[in-house]
Structure 1
Amino acid sequence: MAAPASSLEEAFHDAPALRQEILEHISRTPQSVDLFNQISHYIINIKQSCAEDRDGPATKRRKIENNTGSQIEVISKSTLVAELSSQTILLRLPDISFSIPQRKKFTLVLTAAALGAFGPNDTVEFGVHLSEVDYVACVPVPEKAARQWNFAVFVKNSHGISDAATDPLLFTVTDTPSKGGVPTDSSDTRQTIISNLNRTLPIRVKEPSSEVFKSLTANSYRKNEASYHVKSHLGTKEGFLFFLDNAIIWGFKKPLFCFVFDSIESSSYSSITQRTFSLTIKTTAEFGGKEIEFSMIDQVEHPAIDDFLRRNQLKDASMAEARRAKIPSSLVKENTGAKSELQAAENEIAGIDQNDSDDEDDDDYEENSEGSDQSDASDSETSDNELAVNQRSSSRNLAEDELGSELEEVDITDDEGSQDD
């Protein structure tokens, strides 16, 4: 068995004599081929990381071109390369579909210190240090006929809400058979990944649960299964909100958001219509103090979301002063000094005469204004009756002045009144 010439050529291209000695040694001792393969890959990765370190800091971002030709950012660290290349591999899964930071199939590799993606010839493409991982979630991929699961691995500053953001890892496990036609149970693969991560990480992988949150919309793709997501929009991007036992996740397009409860200062509702509403999450100052709005959420989901927010005491700031409807400045100026209806009612109950302020010097005095002295309908009727009585009294007084005592001499008896009839 011979070592791949390409690996030896790439690793020892600047030392042809040493490469030739390695080939001769392998021909004499074929059992050493695996050892020299590992040595070759290790040297290749070290050379790659050293070249990057010469061009900038070890954590600098380098551009990698994907299949579509677009540029994406990947974090590369020389220590990460060394950890993935030299340490014992605990888990190795080929043909895993990654979405972030690069949309491509890679070999998933887990060691005691790092998790990463290997490309052709076992070159390290990207990865994370396990010591920096602070949240991992495994959730079903929404709106797929075949069962699939997304693994989202977040490290510090990769939650999408901090200013110094880096990319998380996002990869998918499916139910499709592996290459070669050998049937596989992806749920076993999913559980294998979860078990290995739980053994090596200081935290546990989080999965959705009906006891924590369940969508109130029926799963139209797999009718016998519950849904754990809520469809929403972030600007013009369509995505899904997942409500887990200690975090809220939005995905699965960049930027991927992870709101652990400690990062949430408050939540609020807005843009409420008959069919949809928006949910805004405000982060604490430590996480940038940002307000991120997820819109076009179906009203059907509101009871479940509201119950989740209340149970986890995620402060509802919907009625906060900053969110109340603002009064236009023109109306504020127009109503300055005017009595409100509530104040007028309170004054009336207290027995304060509202008419005693109708003075020309008052700010709210309006001459001949219909609104300056309004009264109830019953008061208007009483005033009309009093006016009629006064008019009749005035008429009688005028008659008495004109006729004198003659009015007193006129006395119509009942008999006379009957004869007149």
Structure 2
Amino acid sequence: MAFAAINSAGTPITAIEEAFVTEPSLKKRVYDAIGHTPQHAPLFEDLARYTSSLQARAASTSLPIVPPPTDGPAAKKRKIQNGSSVETAQASVSVKDAPVQFYVQDISFAMPQRKKLTLEVTAGYLRTRNQATKEVEFGIPMDKIRHALCLPVPEKTQKQFNFCIVPEFADGITSPPEGTSAPDAMVFTVADGPAKAAFSESGQQIGNNPGETAEALIRKLLNENMPNTNFVRPDEREFVSATPEAHRKGEKAYHVKAFRGSKEGYLFLLSTGILFAFKKPLLFFSFDTVESVSYTSVLQHTFNLNIIARPRNGSEEDNQEFEFSMIDQENFGGIDEYIKRHGLQDSSLAEARRAKVYNVNAPKNTEEAAAAEATGAEEESELQKAQRELEDQEDEEDEEDYDPGSDGESEGSGSSSDEDSDEDEFHENAENVSEGDEEEIKEELGSEAEDGDDE
């Protein structure tokens, strides 16, 4: 009871003051509860100390403090440091504190950051950890992963694989709902060969069975933890390039080189969609987002592939067109077969792409053409008719005056520009003759003028 008297007198309790210094309303409720039930004071103090310890641990790992529940709208997704987003502050704590199932050191990442990190898999997250600071850099909830692709890296002497993890709203086509954010796509590279730095939670090395590769190990472990998808790999039954892998002789290539604007990348035609990688932004056209496909600028050696995609949460008005240019003509047949096999609409001859037809040289043997011509004749005015007849008469006179032996020059209706050019040519030739010939030329010109007067 003495404690209650002290509390009612306003004497602060240190543990509660420290725990709820930023939450005065909650602190008041705690004091009120202690005032009504002083026997529970030790319990509230223990809860306050525990809250302070959580706050201290969060501060040491740069974690946001979990806010108390409110009656307001649901908390928006928040970015964690240098990486992808997670749904709530509580999820942020989970992605950092979830126990590790296995991890692989010295993994080279290209997205969302270009650096070497430790790849970690937990029960609910795929995350990365800085190897120097030991801090979690970014992560993706396993249940948010929509597409997982394992692809050979093109144009490398040593065989490597790129793992492309595409979470929801990170395909480059469908944007997250307004006011929210989404995890970025993740791309990391694994060399072909045994896993040299893969470990279980206890620190025991794994993936060292005979013939087991790091690529196969990571695919297996991630497939076991992703609830909504499994890894997709290239399949020659889907598409294989007409040009083999130049840097690894005898090996088939499953990509075609293409440009999006000035950005060079690779197109992979897979069983679940078309990927353009490995530059930012990564684009993945799953079949349910492809509205149509078309070919443009088909030349002798190259052609362009155009994909019109519709966001999953959008309408036809939100359609976007993506053009991939300078694709080798040798791959046209394989790409066209892939598009037809998967029933992707070929809109190469769609109305928007067809050349506009103008009725300039339309045939006049149809009834409509004859009617239009008759109507035009009736509407011709007398002045227009007289002008047309005069022009026709002049054309006939020009044909009668035409002399085939005059080097193609017609007399009669010559243009003023032709006369000026003839005069300039005469003066130029006159300057090149000698002084002794000038008189002879003048005499000839004079005689021609007299002949003209006589006529």
TM-score relative to the length of structure 1? 0.64
Question: What is the Cα deviation at residue 212 of structure 1?
Answer: 1.1
1:314 has 2:326 as partner? no
Query: Residue type of the partner of 1:89?
Result: V
Inter-CA distance 273–126: structure 2 relative to 1 (3 Å threshold): same
The residue correspondences of 1:19-418 to structure 2 (distance < 5 A) are 43=57, 47-50=61-64, 59-61=77-79, 64=82, 74-75=84-85, 78-119=89-130, 120-164=132-176, 166-175=183-192, 178=196, 188-202=213-227, 203-286=229-312, 288-326=318-356, 335=359, 340-341=362-363, 344-346=364-366, 359=377, 361=379, 367-368=388-389
Question: What is the Cα deviation at residue 299 of structure 1?
Answer: 0.6
Segment of structure 1 superposing worse, 121-130 or 314-323: 121-130
Aligned to 2:10: none
Q: Is the 8 A contact 2:240 2:334 kept in 1?
A: yes
Percent of matched pairs sharing the same residue: 33
CA distance in 2, matches of 1:53, 1:75: 17
Inter-CA distance 247–45: structure 2 relative to 1 (3 Å threshold): farther
**Secondary structure of the equivalent of 1:48?**
coil
Structure 2: any 5+ residue segments left out of the alignment? Answer: 1-17, 19-52, 69-74, 177-181, 198-204, 393-455
What are the Cα deviations for residues 309-351 of structure 1, in whole angstroms up to 9, with x where unaligned?
0000010011111112246xxxx5xx5xx7821xx24459x9x
Segment of structure 1 superposing worse, 257-266 or 163-172: 163-172
**Secondary structure of the equivalent of 1:83?**
helix
CA distance in 2, matches of 1:52, 1:241: 43
Aligned to 1:382: none
Aligned to 1:411: none
Question: What is the Cα deviation at residue 88 of structure 1?
Answer: 3.5
CA distance in 2, matches of 1:261, 1:157: 15
**Secondary structure of the equivalent of 2:307?**
strand
CA distance in 2, matches of 1:172, 1:89: 21
Question: What is the Cα deviation at residue 111 of structure 1?
Answer: 1.2
Inter-CA distance 361–136: structure 2 relative to 1 (3 Å threshold): same
Inter-CA distance 339–194: structure 2 relative to 1 (3 Å threshold): closer
CA distance in 2, matches of 1:299, 1:132: 38
What are the Cα deviations for residues 37-75 of structure 1, in whole angstroms up to 9, with x where unaligned?
xx99x9358852216989xx76334674xxxxxxxx643
**Secondary structure of the equivalent of 1:279?**
strand
CA distance in 1, matches of 2:233, 2:110: 19
CA distance in 1, matches of 2:66, 2:330: 51
Q: Is the 8 A contact 1:215 1:304 kept in 2?
A: yes
Q: Is the 8 A contact 1:150 1:173 kept in 2?
A: yes
**Secondary structure of the equivalent of 2:258?**
strand
CA distance in 1, matches of 2:372, 2:288: 54
CA distance in 2, matches of 1:149, 1:50: 36
Question: What is the Cα deviation at residue 176 of structure 1?
Answer: 7.2
CA distance in 2, matches of 1:358, 1:95: 81
Q: Is the 8 A contact 1:44 1:123 kept in 2?
A: no
CA distance in 2, matches of 1:87, 1:129: 11
Question: What is the Cα deviation at residue 100 of structure 1?
Answer: 0.5
Question: What is the Cα deviation at residue 292 of structure 1?
Answer: 0.7
Structure 1: any 5+ residue segments left out of the alignment? Answer: 1-13, 15-38, 65-72, 371-421
Inter-CA distance 52–307: structure 2 relative to 1 (3 Å threshold): farther
Query: Residue type of the partner of 1:173?
Result: V
Question: What is the Cα deviation at residue 270 of structure 1?
Answer: 0.7
Question: What is the Cα deviation at residue 362 of structure 1?
Answer: 5.2
Query: Residue type of the partner of 1:132?
Result: K
TM-score relative to the length of structure 2? 0.60
CA distance in 1, matches of 2:211, 2:352: 48
Query: Residue type of the partner of 1:208?
Result: P
Q: Is the 8 A contact 1:150 1:172 kept in 2?
A: yes
What are the Cα deviations for residues 111-152 of structure 1, in whole angstroms up to 9, with x where unaligned?
121101011353211010011111100000000010100001
Q: Is the 8 A contact 2:239 2:334 kept in 1?
A: yes
CA distance in 1, matches of 2:374, 2:277: 66
Query: Residue type of the partner of 1:159?
Result: D
Aligned to 2:12: none
CA distance in 1, matches of 2:265, 2:80: 28
Aligned to 1:384: none
Inter-CA distance 159–354: structure 2 relative to 1 (3 Å threshold): closer
